[in-house]
Amino acid sequence: MALSKPKIPDTPQHYLKCDIKNCDGHCEFYCNSCHQQMCKQCRDQHLKISENKNHEMVLYQQRKRQLPVEKCKIHPTKDIDILCKECNTPLCSKCATMQEHQGHRFSDLETIYTDKFELCLKEISNIHNYFIPTSHDVQREVQEDAIEVKQIMDSIRTTMKADAESLKSMVDTVLSENMEELNQIEKSLLEKLKSQEKTFDDYITYLSDLVKEFHGYLSSTKLTNFTIKLPENLQIKSIPETIKPVTPEFSSAQYSKKDVAKLLGKITETSRMEKLRRVKPMEIASFSTSMKSASEQTKQDKDVKCDKKQTMSLSASVTKVREFNVPGVDGVYHVSLDHSDRLWISDSKGNLAQTDLQGNVIHMIKTSGGNEGYHTVTQDRDLIFTEKDKKVINRITQGNNITEFIKTGDWTPYSIHSSHINGDLLVGMMCGFGEGEITRYNKSGKTLQNIQRDNKGQGLYGYPHYITENINGDICTSDYCADAVVVVNKSGQHRFSYGGQESVFHPYGICTDVLGHILVVDHYSKKVYLLDQDGQFLSSLLTQQQGVQIPRSVCVDDKNNLYLGQNATNTLTVYKYLKYLK
């Protein structure tokens, strides 16, 4: 059954006009009986006509779609407008009176058509607003995963080659030591044999002299030489004793290819089962969109990932929960979360304190850090911090032992963040004024990635003094020289830069939350801005009305508490801004 397509306007209208001739009124109502859109005045006039008093007049949004005209093949003068529910066949009114449809139930085909039409529109909207954008997101994630796999494989290859070279070096060292030991043994044995050879040279000389003496006696004609000079008990000296040298033995190593493989390590695939890639549910996508006003909603929230059992959302207002002081620091310039029970807090003078959630100081160290996010806590709860004066990155283990972890060469390390996704270290560095980069290291301190320029060759960073990572792997940097938040994806490709809401923007502390929001401190406007993960401004989360004076640091813990630190005070203030949906 071929139905004619309803006419859909090619261009959007500011408002719907009344269909009544010579009326330019604003359409509010719809007559389902004669399929006309009407303004309020025309509706009233329409219903005053006696033949129209039974017309079905509804709000425009509740209108029925006009059924396309299709003639009945059995009764060509009649239009098909009903549906036999028993036969599931479209009919005209005259067909319904025929014998084969006696006792059957019928439905209004126009109502069915309207429902199906609305369903198609809804599904078209879902495809355009959810399925296609989400598919592009997943496709992009697959492409990024492919790049990441290549980077990881290259890193493994580099590590394998380094381990093999190290083993070769150790083999050469052991061989050299064994050779030297063998040479010393040989030298000692030869010296002993040389001494024995000298002994026998002397003994043979002694025997030769003795033979000459005997020959002298034999050739002499004087009897006195035999009777007087030649003693009767003459004894020849015994042959000197010598020691036969014992040479060393060499136990040849018994090894196989498997033994060498053990020394060089083995490639093993992860034992974890593959998991289906997480795709944001349509209801979460719809909810994220509804959180924004019409002027803010220029993009759909993407890749919303939340491992909580309940769905999180923004609260209608920010609530102050508590605050506490941290002795030993003059201001709170950066906060690192030491899991859920402790914090590391630093000021601008290099004081770095570990504290509990009541402000009791547990440990205090002196560093060269200042106005930057120069410390972070790893998945193993080790503290990692930069020493910009020495151009090194240090590690503090649970026993409070400080060790030099990474040397950064010509680059001065300022900001640092330990990834919650894979444990990599992201370090913001500078080499000269205004020339910055982000370097990614693995857990062992080996360089994996250097991010410095965009795809046009332009430098991305000037002074990356705070850095964090979002739930989708994006690297978010607060850059004071660029006066912007610079965001690249995990492959290092520039995604966007955010320049604040006012004419001047001086970003400081930056963090992300479980919904992928980006929170950044603006020192100039004395606010904490809330962005979505695509850089769209959502709200001024904290302002002077909430007691913000000179903000410097911000972070969110695993219980969704927001911590705000400020200059010239050692007070840390805790807020709630997220809630669980019931």
HEC per residue, 76-139: CCCEEEEEECCCCEEEECCHHHCHHHCCCCEEEHHHHHHHHHHHHHHHHHHHHHHHHHHHHHHH
Predicted confidence (pLDDT) at residue 296 exceeds the cutoff of 70: no
Predicted confidence (pLDDT) at residue 580 exceeds the cutoff of 90: no
The one-letter code for the residue type at 117 is F
Predicted confidence (pLDDT) at residue 61 exceeds the cutoff of 80: no
pLDDT interval class at 484 (50, 70, 90): very high
Minimal CA–CA distance to 473: which of 486, 490, 495?
Answer: 490
> How high is the pLDDT of residue 14?
43
> How high is the pLDDT of residue 287?
38
> How high is the pLDDT of residue 251?
82
What is the tens place of the pLDDT at every residue in 537-550?
999 999 998 889 99
Rounded Cα distance, 512 and 522, in Å: 15
Q: What is the mean pLDDT of residues 293-311?
A: 41
What is the tens place of the pLDDT at every residue in 305-351?
444 435 778 888 899 999 999 999 999 999 999 876 799 999 999 99
What is the tens place of the pLDDT at every residue in 498-526?
999 888 999 999 999 999 999 999 999 99
Predicted confidence (pLDDT) at residue 116 exceeds the cutoff of 80: yes
262 vs 396, higher pLDDT? 396
Kindly calculate the radius of gyration of the chain based on its CA atoms and give it in whole angstroms: 45
Q: Which two tokens stand for residue 326?
A: 């941290």
Q: Which two tokens stand for residue 478?
A: 């607060």
> How high is the pLDDT of residue 522?
94
Percent of residues, the chain, with pLDDT higher than 70: 88
Report the number of secondary-structure helices (H) and strands (E) in the chain. 6, 30
Question: In the predicted model, what is the mean pLDDT of the chain?
Answer: 84
> How high is the pLDDT of residue 216?
79
> How high is the pLDDT of residue 272?
53
Q: What is the mean pLDDT of residues 75-94?
A: 91
Q: What is the mean pLDDT of residues 438-467?
A: 91
Is 257 exposed, middle or buried (CB count within 10 Å of its CB: 0-12, 13-18, 19+)?
exposed
What is the tens place of the pLDDT at every residue in 557-566?
988 999 999 9
pLDDT interval class at 290 (50, 70, 90): very low
Whether residue 519 contacts residue 503, with contact meaning beta carbons closer than 8 Å, is answered with: no
Q: What is the mean pLDDT of residues 25-46?
A: 89
pLDDT interval class at 269 (50, 70, 90): low
Q: Worst-scoring range by mean pLDDT, 43-52, 60-69, 322-331, 464-473? A: 60-69
What is the tens place of the pLDDT at every residue in 187-241?
999 999 999 999 999 999 999 998 888 887 787 776 766 666 666 667 888 898 8
Query: Distances in Å between the alpha carbon of 554 and those of 173, 378, 399?
Result: 52, 18, 28
Domain ranges within the chain, ordered by starting residue? 282-580
Rounded Cα distance, 510 and 541, in Å: 13
Q: Is 500 left (phi over 0), alpha (psi -120 to 50) or beta?
A: left
Query: Distances in Å between the alpha carbon of 265 and those of 163, 261, 394, 422, 446?
Result: 8, 6, 27, 21, 17
Is 112 exposed, middle or buried (CB count within 10 Å of its CB: 0-12, 13-18, 19+)?
middle
Q: Worst-scoring range by mean pLDDT, 38-47, 219-228, 256-265? A: 219-228
> How high is the pLDDT of residue 288?
42
Rounded Cα distance, 535 and 336, in Å: 24
Whether residue 397 contacts residue 382, with contact meaning beta carbons closer than 8 Å, is answered with: yes
pLDDT interval class at 551 (50, 70, 90): very high
Q: Would you state the CATH architecture of domain 282-580?
A: 6 Propeller (2.120)
Residue with tokens 């008990």: 233
- DSSP class of residue 348 equals T
Q: Worst-scoring range by mean pLDDT, 28-32, 151-155, 436-440? A: 151-155
> How high is the pLDDT of residue 231?
67
Predicted confidence (pLDDT) at residue 414 exceeds the cutoff of 70: yes
269 vs 392, higher pLDDT? 392
Whether residue 38 contacts residue 24, with contact meaning beta carbons closer than 8 Å, is answered with: no
> How high is the pLDDT of residue 502?
87
Q: Worst-scoring range by mean pLDDT, 46-60, 268-282, 390-404, 531-545? A: 268-282
